[in-house]
Amino acid sequence: MSEAMRFNAMYFMPYVHLPENHKEFKSTWVNFPNKYYDPAKGHELYQRYLQELVLADRLGFDAIVVNEHHNTVYSMMATPSVIAAAIIPQTQNARICVWGVPPNFMLPNRLAEEYAILDVLSKGRLEVAFPLGTGMEYWSNPVNPATARERFRESLQIILQAWKEDGPTTHYGKFYTYRFLNPWPRPYQRPHPPCYIVGAGSPETIDIAAELGFGYSSVFVPQQRALELNQMLRERAARHGRTVRPDQLPLLTFVYVAETQEQAEKEYIIHLQRFFEDYARSTPQWLAPPGYLSIEQLKIRAAGADKMHGGFDFAAISKSFFIAVGTPEKVANQLGEWAERMGTNHLNNVVHVADMPHWKTVKNMTLYAEEVIPRLRPRAATATKGGTA
Amino acid sequence: MKGKFQREVFKIGAVDTVVYTAGKGDPVVFFHGAGTLDGFDFTEAWVDRFRVIAPYHPGFGESGDDPEFSSLQDYVMHYLELFDALHIDRFHLVGLSMGGQLAAMFAAAHGHRVKKLVLVAPSGIVDPEHPTLDILAIPGEQIPGLLTSDFSVIQKRLPEKPSLDFVADRYRETTTFARLSWEHPRGDPKLMRYLHRLKTPTLILWGDEDKIVPVQQAQRWKELTPGAEVRVFKGAGHLVHLERPEALEAITRFLASA
């Protein structure tokens, strides 16, 4: 798997019917009133999004990626395994990536079971990522953020034990006691589905990925930082005697492909702006509940947040994050260059943002699949060699 | 903390515990609350008659951290060891807010060591009708405004523009507090069960405009600790001892009385 270039279609499934007065709210997360959620509109959106995910499989994307968030318009996937279960029977080849459920919000054996069911259902197409969960999730779930990292580590240990060792086994830990850890079913893939950790760059989280031999994907960190984090994972994995494969470093990108540069920008930028300004709108308090960050990380992020003030600037944000917008040739070149620089062959492409309509999503995915992927497949070998040096 | 106070550091377990002391006489120990931006310079009022001992709790102010501390019971154990290190056996104990809850817990378990107990707007009582404010859910920048009735009293102690270090210090103290109380921010049901054990002379003070621990809880303390004297000061907030000179004088008189 580590040789070929790989292309994911990544989704958030936002609830797009924001009320007219939504700008009056400092955040569209945590305490944004759920009276604004209309289940009839939610139903229509699910129908549409599921069609788009299934289309990704037909178009030849290698994987479909879903993820979990709570109390927000940002995502309608509070339990992403349910979404995965809905698309598994409708898809043939794409790997199904639940990236993923924060283990802290589940009993670890239940999560091991849930993922095993999806893996068996899909005949081994499942991949999972373990996020700590954003700060916002700790205001929405009854779990202490001050002990979250410790609990996270113990949860992962239990899940891996449940998957790798023949049961029944026992676990006597700080947060959980299992007298009979013996989940049925077990994963289709042996010993377990490919695992990643997704995070916003806390070294504490990267250490866990290094220690357990998981992949790592940084999300919403600037390009230079993402590069450093990949390097950090390689170094720390080496201390555990592990080598990080390129496919273990999924690169989160925002992509939009159209006939011309001008057309692409005209069709896309407004939705990207709304994604950052409206759908991802949060507060410093929600982002950093007590104890969620180390003091060092709090200072780094507080200093960074000061620089972000001043509203949406497409040119600036395109330089900071991995955002590729334009003709197939330009997007392919851009992605190829980033993959090489980041030492990855695994592109995790956000193909739909905010209130982007169905036709643009289908157009974007189709052009990406038919015009971008063929340009990049031959480059894969070079990218792989370049990155692992 | 400067002035008359001497700074000492005691290694208690894994924690470098910073203690400020001043004066001579009967020891008076002060337990601060779940934050330290209000300071404890007001204890200078007692220095002429007492040996004032003002420690920073682990995870607060100048003391070090111990992430394994998960309840106030860990702090009770910490202070048993610190008092041994300080060679003090019997002493007066004054506690503010969370420090008041801690002082009450200490006295309920080790009453023979506490000569007199003073609780300033103590937290810890579970009162569903007049619940303690869940300050963990309050944005940090709003908390100073909740501490006093007259904002200028606390404003003097705040930086004009909070530096990154100031914000980080508050975050650290809130983190320590979250380890103790994230799951039960409104109090400790077990505390109420043991308050009848407070046999030592006890003074409880409250501001009737307390926005953090409602003054109605003073009545519950009165019911649960029959010997306690309760004094309520009009027009004062949570930090009643800073807002009302007569509240601080009441503490001094109570400690000095025979």
Q: What tens-digit pLDDT sequence spans chain B (258 residues)?
A: 567 899 999 999 999 999 999 999 999 999 999 999 999 999 999 999 999 999 999 999 999 999 999 999 999 999 999 999 999 999 999 999 999 999 999 999 999 999 999 999 999 999 999 999 999 999 999 999 999 999 999 999 999 999 999 999 999 999 999 999 999 999 998 999 999 999 999 999 999 999 999 999 999 999 999 889 999 999 999 999 999 999 999 999 999 998
User: Which residue in A152, A104, A70, A137 sits closest to A289, CA to CA?
Assistant: A137
Range of the domain at B173: 6-256
Most B CBs within 10 A among A138, A144, A296, hence the mutation to make, goes to A144
The pLDDT value recorded for residue A389 is 33
Q: Is residue A310 pLDDT above 80, yes or no?
A: no
User: How many percent of chain A have pLDDT more than 90?
Assistant: 87
Helix (H/G/I), strand (E/B), else coil: B27: strand
User: How many percent of chain A have pLDDT more than 70?
Assistant: 95
Does residue A41 contact residue A17 with C-beta atoms inside 8 Å? Answer: yes
Rounded to whole angstroms, the Cα distance separating A22 from A3 reads: 46
Rounded to whole angstroms, the Cα distance separating B166 from B141 reads: 11
Please, what is the end-to-end C-alpha distance for chain A in angstroms?
18
Count: domains in chain B: 1
The pLDDT value recorded for residue A68 is 97
Name the amino acid, one letter, at B237: G
Give kind and range of the element (H or E) at residue B55: strand B50-55
- C-alpha torsion angle, residues A248, A251, A252, A254 (rounded to 10): -150
The pLDDT value recorded for residue A65 is 98
User: Which residue in B121, B88, B90, B87 sits closest to B104, CA to CA?
Assistant: B121
Helix (H/G/I), strand (E/B), else coil: B36: coil
Residue B200 resides in a domain: yes
User: Which residue in A209, A241, A235 sits closest to A343, CA to CA?
Assistant: A235
Tokens read off for A330? 């330009």
- Whole-model pTM: value is 0.94
Rounded to whole angstroms, the Cα distance separating B19 from B99 reads: 15
Does residue B136 contact residue A255 with C-beta atoms inside 8 Å? Answer: no
Q: Is residue A160 pLDDT above 70, yes or no?
A: yes
Judge whether B175 is closer than 8 Å to chain A, CB to CB: yes
**Chain A residues with CB inside 8 Å of B182's CB?**
144-146, 290
Q: How far is B154 from chain A (nearest CA, A)?
A: 22
**Chain A residues with CB inside 8 Å of B64's CB?**
none
Does residue B121 contact residue B209 with C-beta atoms inside 8 Å? Answer: no
Q: Which residue of A has its CA nearest to B142?
A: A285
- Select the residue of B137, B139, B178 nearest A146 (Cβ to Cβ): B178
Rounded to the nearest angstrom, the gap between the alpha carbon of residue A62 and the centroid of all alpha carbons in its chain is 15
What CATH number has the domain bearing residue B209? 3.40.50.1820
User: Which residue in A79, A78, A96 sits closest to A87, CA to CA?
Assistant: A96
Give kind and range of the element (H or E) at residue B240: helix B240-243
Q: What does residue B205 show for φ and ψ, rounded to 5 degrees?
A: -120, 145
**Chain A residues with CB inside 8 Å of B175's CB?**
146, 290-291
Q: Is residue A387 pLDDT above 70, yes or no?
A: no
Helix (H/G/I), strand (E/B), else coil: B138: coil
User: Which residue in B138, B166, B175, B161 sits closest to B34, CA to CA?
Assistant: B175
Judge whether A82 is closer than 8 Å to chain B, CB to CB: no
pLDDT digits (tens, 9 = 90+) for A3-44: 689 999 999 999 999 999 999 999 999 999 999 999 999 999
The pLDDT value recorded for residue A306 is 55
Does residue B235 contact residue B212 with C-beta atoms inside 8 Å? Answer: no
Q: Which residue of B has its CA nearest to A292?
A: B175
The pLDDT value recorded for residue A156 is 98
Q: Does the distance separating the beta carbons of B164 and A144 come in below 8 Å?
A: no
- Select the residue of B140, B167, B175 nearest A146 (Cβ to Cβ): B175
Rounded to the nearest angstrom, the gap between the alpha carbon of residue A280 and the centroid of all alpha carbons in its chain is 14
Does residue B63 contact residue B55 with C-beta atoms inside 8 Å? Answer: yes
User: Which residue in A66, A69, A37, A34 sits closest to A50, CA to CA?
Assistant: A66
Q: Write b or e for each residue in B90-118: b if 16 or more Cβ atoms lie within 10 A of its Cβ, otherwise e.
A: ebbbbbbbbbbbbbbbbbbeeeebbebbb
Rounded to whole angstroms, the Cα distance separating A115 from A120 reads: 9
Residue B1 resides in a domain: no
Rounded to whole angstroms, the Cα distance separating A185 from B54 reads: 58
Q: Does the distance separating the beta carbons of A145 and B168 come in below 8 Å?
A: no
User: Which residue in A202, A172, A167 sits closest to A183, CA to CA?
Assistant: A167
Rounded to whole angstroms, the Cα distance separating B58 from B61 reads: 8
pLDDT digits (tens, 9 = 90+) for B118-130: 999 999 999 999 9
Q: Is residue A388 pLDDT above 50, yes or no?
A: no
Name the amino acid, one letter, at A312: F
Cβ contacts of A186 within 8 Å, gap of 6 or more? A116, A163
Q: Does the distance separating the beta carbons of A290 and B178 come in below 8 Å?
A: yes
Respond yes or no on whether ipTM tops 0.90: yes
Give kind and range of the element (H or E) at residue B6: strand B6-12
User: Which residue in A119, A62, A128, A74 sits closest to A100, CA to CA?
Assistant: A128
Rounded to whole angstroms, the Cα distance separating B37 from B173 reads: 10
Omega of the bond leading into A185 within 30 degrees of 0 (cis): yes
Summary mean pLDDT of chain A: 94
